[in-house]
Amino acid sequence: MIRHAKTSPLPLIVRALLFGAFVAGGWAGVARSQDTLNFPVLGEVIRHEADFDQLIPSGARLEVIAAGFDWTEGPVWVPAKGDEPGHLLFSDIPRNSVYKWVEGVGASLFLKPSGYTGVADYGAEPGCNGLLLDPQGRLVSCEHGDRRISVLTKGGGKRTLVDNYRGQRLNSPNDAVFKSNGDLYFTDPPYGLPNRWDDPLRDLDFCGVYRLSAEGELTLLTDEMTRPNGIGFSPDEKTLYVAQSDPAAAIWMAFPVKRDGTLGEGRQLYDATDKVGELPGLPDGMAVAQDGHIFATGPGGVYVFDPTGRLLGRISTGERTANCTFGGPDGSALYMATDMYLTRIQTSTRGIAR
């Protein structure tokens, strides 16, 4: 049973007040400093099942920790190392940039260009999308404009990990996850192409889910999903979850992972098609907790499922919510890329450490 009313996208006046809260604190545009930990809040927590109370504590609030971006995506938590504090990296795709957020400091530009290095105009979403860390702790980026997955090497250079399938350029890698053996699983919808599916630059006639082995071999795992997007493993790596951001079939799928790393026949985990248009957003990114619960962005915020696909509750942001990740000192804070905002809520669980 839903215990709270549904929400709609925030009115312009509320957006203005949230943005003004940062400006009043000495913050304008992209944050240069942060002199407060008393963050504005938005949205609400909608509890469908009693189990949800064990995941999101009573009184947890959705904090807006940075604002003023164009379209945030791909958050990844980078643990503290030496004198470098733990911090969040996240994409702003239209700005072709990656930003770095540090508690008590705020957000600052980390990398530009992030996903497109060409000289001609490349549409509205040229930058990188999903971000993650490889087994060596290096930043891996799903790049729209350059249509590749890259790794940031020592000294600040980049190396291409993959940019084509059998000689045909990828569409625009969107999101990715590493398996514990070093294999990289990723999705490749057309959203980064200037005209998306109808773009003449498109080489492939499908949107694939792929595996790039640790040895560099690329395998197409499935081309059955129309718009594969967010991706994540169950804690035991026996199941691969994939979101589909197709408004005509807004679903999440669960695929058994075979011993050789390929996928078996998938099952539908959850269908939110009836919420498309009623609530803002589509199935997009996801984060899987150590206890197996799935935190998946979709229409109206972040859906929380158990491994069977039972909907336990929703973190209702009232905004299009692109992606999420666990982070913070103990891995229990859920960070969300929420349209023009970067938001956070405290949970009672933790993300998978890979």
Domain boundaries, the chain: 12-346
| Cβ within 8 Å of residue 278, ≥6 positions away | 6, 299
Alpha-carbon dihedral angle through residues 2, 272, 9, 342, given to the nearest 10 degrees: 100
Between CA 224 and CA 289 the distance in angstroms is: 27
Report residue 87 as tokens. 């911090």
Q: For position 8, what pLDDT does the model report? A: 43
Between CA 114 and CA 99 the distance in angstroms is: 10
pLDDT in single tens digits along all 354 residues of the chain: 333 333 444 555 445 555 555 544 444 445 444 545 567 778 899 999 999 999 999 889 999 999 999 999 999 999 999 999 999 999 999 999 999 999 999 999 999 999 999 999 999 999 999 999 999 999 999 999 999 999 999 988 999 999 999 999 999 999 999 999 999 999 999 999 999 999 999 999 999 999 999 999 999 999 999 999 999 999 999 999 999 999 999 999 999 999 999 999 999 999 999 999 999 999 999 999 999 999 999 999 999 999 999 999 999 999 999 999 999 999 999 999 999 999 999 999 999 876
Query: 257 near 240, Cβ under 8 Å?
Result: yes
Between CA 195 and CA 247 the distance in angstroms is: 17
What is the SS3 assignment for 255? Answer: strand
Report residue 160 as tokens. 């291409």
Between CA 351 and CA 127 the distance in angstroms is: 26
Q: Which helix (H) or strand (E) holds 5?
A: none
Residue whose tokens read 């640790």: 214
What is the pTM for the complete model shown? 0.91
Q: For the structural domain made of 12-346, what CATH number should be given?
A: 2.120.10.30
Q: Is 65 left (phi over 0), alpha (psi -120 to 50) or beta?
A: alpha
Q: What angle do CA 54, 292, 334 make, to 5 degrees?
A: 65
62: closest CA among 348, 310, 330, 338? 338
Between CA 298 and CA 313 the distance in angstroms is: 12
Query: 288 near 351, Cβ under 8 Å?
Result: yes
